[in-house]
């Protein structure tokens, strides 16, 4: 069974079948553009990849903070330097609310599998920062990114957008092209959670004498992700507070209306009237 059998955390199937026709994933910037430009090779999620094959990448509407962009770019500079690559060229712009391009999802492994996987460059192993790591190859970008809205999780592109986008794709030249080894050479989608760790001779401890994890860069990228999360939480908190204020105002208005409609006992016109509960 290959990746077609991995169908949790967001639906089933993908380019390899299971329900998605033209699957798309909305991501925050700058991560979205870095994936399409081939700088980012691993997409980290808290849930396993529900598909295999082509995955379209859409940039969310939130404009990234300059500090977040710098932190993420510094992270990739440091991990690529581990493999001797020091001339990374980052995108000039990080557009938002745009369809950017696509990648090929060829597998999904657990974090502990990726960080000890001797079959891939060390810089790739250092990208393992989340529970599940989606392995991405063959990035392609759109000459002209399409403006569109995104959704949560993996979703299907509208047919008219897909038909226009597929004609505008162009391959990119990644700074370090990657071809992920397949546990089963006869199954191109055989890299799935548990498939690498099951083959014990592929897993070793961290190589002695190799460059240590660039902790400062990792910390910076985590700060950038935390800042993005806090912005989302802050926005949600403001929305909830405004909702509470509006609800309280409606309650007070309703109470005032009720109070105004009930005459007081001292009023001349209330003699003999009953004391009703309201």
The structure tokens listed for 54 are 């082509």
Q: Quick check: is 68 in a domain?
A: yes
What does the pLDDT look like over 231-260, one tens digit per residue?
Answer: 555 545 544 555 555 556 566 666 666 666
Tell me how far CA of residue 202 lies from CA of 62, 115, 120, in angstroms: 40, 12, 11
Domain that holds residue 212: 3-229
Judge whether 203 and 117 are in contact, CB under 8 Å: yes
Give the CATH number for residue 114.
2.30.130.30
Please report whether residue 247 resides in a domain: no
The pLDDT assigned to 267 comes to 46
Per residue in 135-187, pLDDT (tens digit) is: 999 999 999 999 999 999 999 999 999 999 999 999 999 999 999 999 888 88
Instruction: State the pLDDT at residue 59.
Output: 98
* Residue 203: predicted pLDDT: 45
Cβ distance 98 to 145 under 8 Å? yes
> Is 196 part of any domain?
yes
Lowest model confidence (mean pLDDT) among 5-9, 57-61, 79-83, 181-185: 5-9
> Tell me: the pLDDT tens digits for 216-229?
555 656 655 655 55
Computed over every residue of the chain, the mean pLDDT equals 79
Cα separation of 226 and 221, whole Å?
9
Percent of the chain with pLDDT over 70: 64
In a domain, 72, yes or no: yes
Structurally, the chain folds into a number of domains equal to: 1
Residue 249 maps to a domain: no
The answer as to whether 242 is a domain residue is no
Instruction: Tell me if 201 is assigned to some domain.
Output: yes
| pTM > 0.75 | no
Query: What is the predicted pLDDT for the residue at 201?
Result: 43
Burial degree of 75 (CB within 10 A; 0-12, 13-18, 19+):
buried
Q: How far is CA 1 from the centre of its chain?
A: 26
Six token digits for residue 145:
């990114």
In-domain check, residue 268: no
pLDDT above 90 coverage of the chain, percent: 59
């Amino acid at each position: 069974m290959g990746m077609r059998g991995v169908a949790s955390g967001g639906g089933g199937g993908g380019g390899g079948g299971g329900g998605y026709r033209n699957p798309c994933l909305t991501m925050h910037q700058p991560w979205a553009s870095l994936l399409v430009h081939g700088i980012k090779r691993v997409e980290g999620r808290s849930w396993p990849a529900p598909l295999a094959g082509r995955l379209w990448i859409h940039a969310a509407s939130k404009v990234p903070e300059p500090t977040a962009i710098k932190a993420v770019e510094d992270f990739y500079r440091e991990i690529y330097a581990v493999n001797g690559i020091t001339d990374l060229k980052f995108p000039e712009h990080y557009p938002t609310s745009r369809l950017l391009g696509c990648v090929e999802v060829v597998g999904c492994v657990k974090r502990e599998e990726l960080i000890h996987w001797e079959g891939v460059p060390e810089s790739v192993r250092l990208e393992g920062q989340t529970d599940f790591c989606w392995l991405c190859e063959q990035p392609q970008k759109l000459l002209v990114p399409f403006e569109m809205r995104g959704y949560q999780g993996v979703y299907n592109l509208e047919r008219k957008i897909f038909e226009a986008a597929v004609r505008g794709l162009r391959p990119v030249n990644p700074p370090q092209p990657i071809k992920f080894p397949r546990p089963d050479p006869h199954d191109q989608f055989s890299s799935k959670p548990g498939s690498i760790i099951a083959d014990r001779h592929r897993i070793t401890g961290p190589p002695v004498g190799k460059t240590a994890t660039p902790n400062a860069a990792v910390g910076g990228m985590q700060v950038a992700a935390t800042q993005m999360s806090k912005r989302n939480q802050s926005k949600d908190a403001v929305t909830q507070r405004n909702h509470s204020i509006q609800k309280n105002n409606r309650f007070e208005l309703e109470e005032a209306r009720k109070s105004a409609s009930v005459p007081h006992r001292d009023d001349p016109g209330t003699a003999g009237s009953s004391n009703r509960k309201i």
